[in-house]
Amino acid sequence: MINLKDTIKQQINQALIEKYQLANIDFQVEYPPNNKLGDYSCNIAMLLAKKLKKQPTVIGTEIIEVLKHLNTKKPKDLFSKIAVVKPGFINFYLDEKFLMEAVDDILKLKEKFGKLKNKHSQKIQIEFISANPTGPLTLANGRGGFSGDVLANILTLAGNKVEREYFVNDFGNQVNILGHSILKDKEAQYKGDYINQLAKEIKATEVEVIGYKAANVILERYIKPAVKKAGIKFDNYFSERKLHQSGKVDKMLTELIKQNLVYKSEEAVWLKTSKNFSQEYKNDDSQDRVLVKSDGSKTYFLADIAYHWNKFHQRKFDRVINLWGADHHGYISRMKTAVAMIGYPGQLEILLMQLVKLVEDGKEKRMSKRAGVYILLDKLIDEVGLDATRFFFLMHANNKAMDFDLKLAKEKSSKNPVYYVQYAHARICSIIGKTKTLKKNKAHTELVIAEKNLIKELIKWPDLVNEVATNYEVHKIPFYAVALADKFHDFYEQCRVIDNNGVIITRLKLIKVTKQVLENVLTILGVSAPEKM
């Protein structure tokens, strides 16, 4: 099954070379806001108007003429019509025969529909959640957890080799604070039942030893089980303490000195970030940063550089994607600059997860790990279910704050988006079940509008996989699931699959395909596809 957006782009690029000897032109292929304007629309003619000194409509007409004579799979095999409309959009209308063939193609591909062939497959690491092991996972950790999990699914579907990692911050100040909290001395900051329980279990006197032991217990007893309950799998839990104990942090410092990337001032060792600073990462952080303090202690920044050196230099990842909390905003530029300085410019990408609020009856439930008042992720899953938890978190763009509506998440009606999507799948299963003992009627040869609209939505899935694998906007996937359910429910209201105690074969095939694509999408989201509701 072809990716139509990519196919259109490839054909237009070929036409630009043949007609104008132009290559590497950046342009967009989008879905028009109104289906009367076609199924796909391209802005290339308007972009070239100034360069070619022609009217966009003239350029569009010339491009269409070239498209008709391409040696590749010709547009006439895909589109019933290609037209130019003012101010210069080239609009593409899918051919009905192609739509019917697409249903057969999806039926053959089954769960592989959406899987992309990737000539440039990469080894990618996604590091996410990575909450300090100083307490159970809270609601706030859900954003990065579910987003990282689904992004890994999508990048794998797009043909990459993907590894998922949790960085365990079991070293340094926060572990010492945990130790103080268990001792309940004047430097204690963390509170809660889990702290009281750990205080009974851990028998030691040194703050660091207590903190480290407690961090291990918290990781195994609270964090890993919550991760499992959330339907998230990690390939690796990477210990910061072991990073230090292995000597990798010291070796990183030696390497930076060897490359003349540091200097000493005021008894401290500084990284020459200002000299190597890239404008690409600029916010307000182009100054040099301390790696070793004047008292000889190493900073988190040095450890983070060593950690990323391990990712790129030793484990050979082509690309690393970190999902961080919004409070790490000021850390992005220095980390990207440091990674560029050690030889991997542009290979680290950092996505920020904005704040999340739990709202019930219009009121926010506040949470604070240190104050001992917090909403645990696993408790939320127990209350609303894993499917609703994942779907609701994933529906919001990571760069925007979100309200988790507890009441809506528990509602069993079409108002609840995950229920609405799952109900579409269950309804299809019910129809298929009823057809098993009925005679099969001759297929009708002409598609009605509701059928066309459903097929057009189905064939968007590979394009969306490609898009999300490029821009990481995983929130578009649950919205696609809702749009697909919309198109199916419209089809259900307007088209009979069972008619006069017989089954219309083409429509039975169409709902089977819809069932398959819904399952494919829900699998990527980590949400179940129930057969009954």
| DSSP per-residue letters across 31-93 | --SSGGG-SEEE-HHHHHHHHHTS-HHHHHHHHHHHHTT-SSS-HHHHEEEEEEETTTEEEEE
117 neighbors 159 (Cβ within 8 angstroms): yes
Measured between alpha carbons, how far is 230 from 466 in angstroms, rounded to an integer? 26
Residues in the chain, overall count: 533
* Range 206-211 average pLDDT: 94
Per-chain mean pLDDT for the chain:
92
What is the pairing mode between strands 289-292 and 319-325?
Answer: unpaired
Beta-carbon contacts of 99 under 8 Å, excluding residues fewer than 6 positions away, are 447, 452, 455, 456, 459
Distance from chain centroid for Cα 436: 38
For the segment 2-23, the average pLDDT, to the nearest whole number, is 93
Mean local confidence (pLDDT), 341-360 = 93
- Is residue 205 classed as helix, strand or coil in its secondary structure? coil
- pLDDT bracket for residue 216 (50, 70, 90): very high
Of residues 258, 269, 272, the one with CA closest to residue 297: 269
Q: How far apart (Å, rounded) are the C-alpha atoms in residues 467 and 307?
A: 30
Q: Per-residue pLDDT averaged across 3-13, rounded?
A: 92
Does residue 140 carry a pLDDT above 90?
A: no
Dist. CA 263–CA 17, nearest whole Å: 52
Task: Please work out, in degrees rounded to the nearest 5, the angle formed at the alpha carbon of residue 133 by the alpha carbons of 209 and 238.
Answer: 95
Give the residues across from 82 on adjacent strands.
92
Structure tokens at 205: 């006197």
What is the layout of strands, in order, in the sheet containing 262-265? 262-265, 268-271, 289-292
Helix (H, G, I), strand (E, B) or coil at 495: coil
The CATH fold of domain 4-94: Gyrase A; domain 2 (3.30.1360)
Measure the CA angle with vertex 406, ends 402 and 411; round to 5°: 125
pLDDT at res. 315:
98
- Residue 175 has a CB neighbour count (10 Å cut-off) of 24
> What is the rounded average pLDDT of the residues 461-478?
97
Residue 141: predicted pLDDT = 92
pLDDT band at 284 (very low <50, low <70, confident <90, very high): very low
* CATH of segment(s) 128-243+354-410: 3.40.50.620
Q: What amino acid occupies position 392?
A: F
Asked if the model's pLDDT at residue 394 lies above 60, the reply is yes
Q: State pLDDT tens for residues 146-184.
A: 999 999 999 999 999 999 999 999 999 999 999 999 999
- Parallel/antiparallel/unpaired status of strands 89-94 and 79-85: antiparallel
Residue found under tokens 């600073």: 277
Write out pLDDT tens, residues 315-331. Answer: 999 999 999 999 998 89
CA distance 448 to 445: 10
Q: Check residue 281 and give its pLDDT.
A: 47
25's tokens: 């032109």
pLDDT over 60 (residue 369)? no
Give the tokens for residue 516: 């398959």
3-state DSSP call for residue 403? strand
- Categorize the per-residue pLDDT at 438 as very low, low, confident or very high, splitting at 50, 70 and 90: confident
What is the Cα 326 distance to its own chain's centre?
17
Distance CA 252, CA 299 (A): 13
Structure tokens at 385: 């279910």
C-alpha span between 61 and 68 (Å, rounded) = 11
Residue 373 reports pLDDT greater than 80: no
Q: Where in the chain is the domain with CATH 3.30.1360.70?
A: 4-94
C-alpha 398/C-alpha 91 separation (Å) is 32
Domain with CATH 3.40.50.620 in the chain: 128-243+354-410
CATH 1.10.730.10 in the chain: give the residue spans. 417-525
**pLDDT tens digits for 375-391?**
899 999 999 999 999 99
* 442: three-class secondary structure by DSSP: coil
Q: Which residues contact 180 (CB under 8 A, 6 or more apart)?
A: 186, 187, 188, 189, 207, 211
Comparing CA positions, the residue from 230, 204, 206 lying closest to residue 136 is: 230
The confidence score (pLDDT) of residue 283 equals 42
Give per-residue pLDDT as tens, 58-90: 999 999 999 988 755 555 578 999 999 999 999
Region 509-528 average pLDDT? 98
Question: 23: which residues sit within 8 A by CB, 6+ positions away?
Answer: 13, 16, 17
Task: Tell me what pLDDT residue 286 has.
Answer: 67
Q: What beta strand segments (E) does 423-508 contain?
A: 439-441, 498-499, 502-504
In the chain, % of residues over pLDDT 90: 83
Q: Coil, helix or strand for 18?
A: helix
d(CA 457, CA 445) in angstroms, rounded, equals 20
Inter-residue contact 153 to 164 (CB < 8 Å): no
**Architecture, CATH, for domain 417-525:** Orthogonal Bundle (1.10)
CA distance from start to end of the chain = 32
Residue 39 makes CB contacts below 8 A (sequence gap 6+) with 31, 32, 92, 93, 94, 456
| Closest by Cα among 15, 123, 120, 147 to 68 | 15
Q: What is the pLDDT of residue 278?
A: 57
398: nearest Cα among 483, 468, 473:
473
Structure tokens belonging to residue 324:
């961080």
Which has the closest alpha carbon to 157: 468, 518, 388?
Answer: 468
How many CB atoms sit inside 10 A of residue 74's CB?
13
Query: What pLDDT score does 279 carry?
Result: 53
